[in-house]
């Protein structure tokens, strides 16, 4: 969505420069003063530009071009993209006609629509190529289980593992009750669950989709769909196996396999886009305005004790992905090796670890922790896309291994620099309180809650309640 919006702005600027033979900076001055187009007001031009952008975003959204459920056919995606651009362009020309705005050159409008259509198509083609390269490296793939152990299940498994561009990672077969044929190619280790344990396994291993290749009783399938709605896991079936349940569902091809989506988890695309925009703008401003402070802190850390300036820690992010979390170093260089020596001083219960007067903390580190300045470099993690400004804190691997099944829900969202626990119960040693607040955030998230937590965090930082 953000890229499409920027594409519209860039195409409009290029079309205006080309048609009016005016430079970028002089054109921007005339645009701001309202003298770029004789008789055209600044407000009218901005209204038309915003209207065209919003129309393109809305139509693309309705055509599922922003859906996380991938359009696997490249030509079909290109056709939908062109359709969205031309439809939005038609709405723009209709608006100009109805507003009786003859002062706006029609040539600029037509060139803008043509540039937007070409740019969006090329950009989607480039993004698809880059996405394919990520899939080959195992980045951004969707984890799937295949229900059934017959020949079709193995053909589907072979297909998704061979055609890496599909972006799927096979995680195992599911044993389905009944007299279904079991292929001799099935090894015991590949059958990871049955229908009773299916969704527990899916939750523990962050499964995104389940493919059913063998029939189920209608009551069993309805139970599966009910649990899929509760857990947000997608369910697909092969058409010939569940005709009675999928009469009105469209057929979608996964490579060469026709499938019918019976359930898809709802995702608030617009709200998530707005959250990402807030993350990018806020993080960029913080890093820019705080750059002198960051440099000063880096010098103090380097002079205060031997060792690196930054501390890189392996943390568990959204849906179990491991990433490097960046912080200013506040402890001695070999602090991780000395952790076992002070485990008996732990003041938190459960899987958390915290010692108020930790002997490993350096003098400058105590000041950094008191005012949470050690976490400033994590805004680079936000820009990279590993973290968000607001969300549950990213845990370490040893903590996650001790989680119960319900605790894994806190990994359904992007981890954050601050969250409900940081602003409401930072000094509370209870692990249950820590988890309950994070789960409350996951269940009740909205953009206004994020803004409230950010404002509350500012007061907490200045109060110096960190440790």
Which of helix, strand or coil describes residue 144?
Answer: strand
For the ranges 114-123, 229-238, 368-377, 423-432, the one whose mean pLDDT is highest = 114-123
Radius of gyration of the CA atoms of the chain, in A? 27
325 neighbors 394 (Cβ within 8 angstroms): yes
Q: In three state form, how does the secondary structure of 75-102 look? A: HHHHHHHHHHHHHHHHHHHHHHHHHCCC
Backbone angles phi, psi at 71, to 5 degrees: -85, 110
Q: Is the dihedral of CA 147, 150, 154, 159 positive or negative?
A: negative
Phi, psi of 194 (to 5 degrees): -115, -175
- What pLDDT does 460 receive? 76
Report the alpha-carbon distance of residue 260 to residue 252 in Å, rounded.
Answer: 6
The answer to which of 153-162, 173-182, 282-291, 372-381 has the lowest mean pLDDT is 173-182
Q: What pLDDT score does 113 carry?
A: 92
Question: Under 8 Å CB-to-CB from 300, ≥6 apart: which residues?
Answer: 364
311 within 8 A of 330, measured Cβ to Cβ: yes
Tokens linked to 193: 């669950």
Residue 73 has a pLDDT of 75
Q: What is the mean pLDDT of residues 24-53?
A: 72
Structure confidence at residue 52 as a pLDDT band (50, 70, 90): very high
401 pLDDT band, cuts 50/70/90, is confident
Residue range 184-194, pLDDT digits in tens: 677 778 889 98
The pTM for the full model equals 0.74
Q: What is the largest CA-CA distance in the chain?
A: 79
Q: How far apart are the first and last CA of the chain?
A: 40
Buried b (16+ CB within 10 A) or exposed e, 121-134: beebeeeeeeeeee
Q: Residue 464 pLDDT > 70, yes or no?
A: no
Mean pLDDT value across residues 218-244? 82
Which pLDDT value is given to residue 286?
93
Give the start-to-end residue ranges of the domains of the chain.
Answer: 2-136, 142-265, 270-463
| Local confidence band at 38 (pLDDT 50, 70, 90 cut-offs) | low
Digit-coded pLDDT (tens) for 414-424: 999 998 888 87
Of the chain, the percentage scoring pLDDT greater than 90 comes to: 27
pLDDT confidence tier of residue 170, bands split at 50, 70 and 90: very high
Q: Provide CATH code, domain 142-265.
A: 3.40.50.720
**pLDDT for position 30:** 64
Residue 402 near residue 323, CB atoms below 8 Å: no
Q: What is the mean pLDDT of residues 401-410?
A: 86
- Residues 6 or more apart whose CB falls under 8 angstroms from that of 435 comprise 407, 410
Query: Do 345 and 339 touch, CB atoms closer than 8 A?
Result: no
pLDDT tens-digit profile of 104-154?
777 888 998 999 999 999 999 998 898 888 888 888 888 999 998 888 889
What is the average pLDDT value for the chain, to the nearest integer?
83
């Amino acid at each position: 969505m953000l890229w499409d919006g920027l594409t519209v702005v860039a195409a409009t600027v290029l079309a205006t420069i080309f048609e009016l033979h005016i430079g970028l900076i002089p054109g921007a001055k005339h645009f701001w003063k309202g003298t770029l187009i004789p008789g055209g007001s600044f407000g009218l031009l901005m209204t038309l530009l915003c209207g065209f952008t919003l129309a393109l975003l809305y139509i693309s959204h309705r055509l599922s071009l922003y859906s996380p459920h991938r359009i696997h056919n490249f030509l079909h995606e290109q056709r939908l993209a062109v359709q969205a651009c031309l439809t939005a362009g038609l709405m723009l020309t209709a608006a100009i006609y109805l507003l009786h705005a003859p002062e706006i050159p029609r040539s600029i409008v037509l060139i803008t629509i043509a540039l937007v259509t070409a740019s969006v198509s090329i950009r989607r083609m480039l993004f698809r190529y880059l996405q394919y390269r990520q899939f080959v490296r195992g980045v951004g793939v969707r984890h799937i289980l295949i229900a059934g152990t017959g020949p079709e299940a193995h053909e589907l498994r072979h297909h998704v593992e061979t055609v890496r561009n599909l972006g799927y990672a096979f995680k195992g077969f599911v044993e389905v009750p009944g007299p279904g044929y079991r292929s001799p190619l099935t090894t015991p280790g590949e059958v990871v669950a049955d229908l009773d344990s299916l969704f527990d396994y899916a939750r523990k291993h962050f499964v995104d989709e389940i493919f059913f290749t063998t029939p189920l009783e209608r009551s069993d399938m309805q139970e599966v769909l009910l649990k899929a709605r509760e857990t947000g896991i997608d369910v697909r079936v092969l058409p010939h196996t569940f005709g009675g349940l999928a009469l009105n569902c469209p057929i979608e091809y996964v490579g060469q396999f026709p499938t019918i989506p019976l359930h898809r988890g709802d995702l608030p695309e617009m709200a998530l886009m707005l959250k990402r925009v807030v993350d990018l703008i806020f993080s960029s401003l913080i890093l820019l305005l705080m750059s002198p402070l960051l440099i000063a802190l880096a010098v103090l850390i380097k002079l205060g004790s031997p060792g690196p300036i930054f501390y890189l820690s392996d943390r568990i992010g959204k849906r179990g992905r491991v990433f490097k979390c960046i912080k200013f170093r506040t402890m001695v260089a070999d602090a991780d090796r000395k952790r076992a020596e002070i485990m008996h001083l732990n003041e938190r219960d459960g899987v958390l670890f915290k010692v108020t007067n930790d002997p490993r903390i350096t003098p400058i580190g105590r000041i950094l922790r008191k005012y949470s300045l050690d976490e400033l470099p994590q805004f680079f993690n936000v820009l990279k896309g590993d973290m968000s400004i607001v969300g549950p804190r990213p845990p370490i691997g040893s903590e996650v291994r001790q989680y119960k099944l319900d605790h894994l829900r806190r990994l359904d969202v992007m981890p954050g620099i601050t969250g409900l626990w940081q602003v409401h119960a930072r000094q509370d040693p209870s692990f249950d309180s820590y988890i309950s607040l994070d789960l409350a955030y996951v269940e009740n998230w909205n953009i206004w809650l994020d803004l409230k937590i950010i404002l509350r965090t500012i007061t907490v930082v200045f109060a110096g309640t960190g440790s």
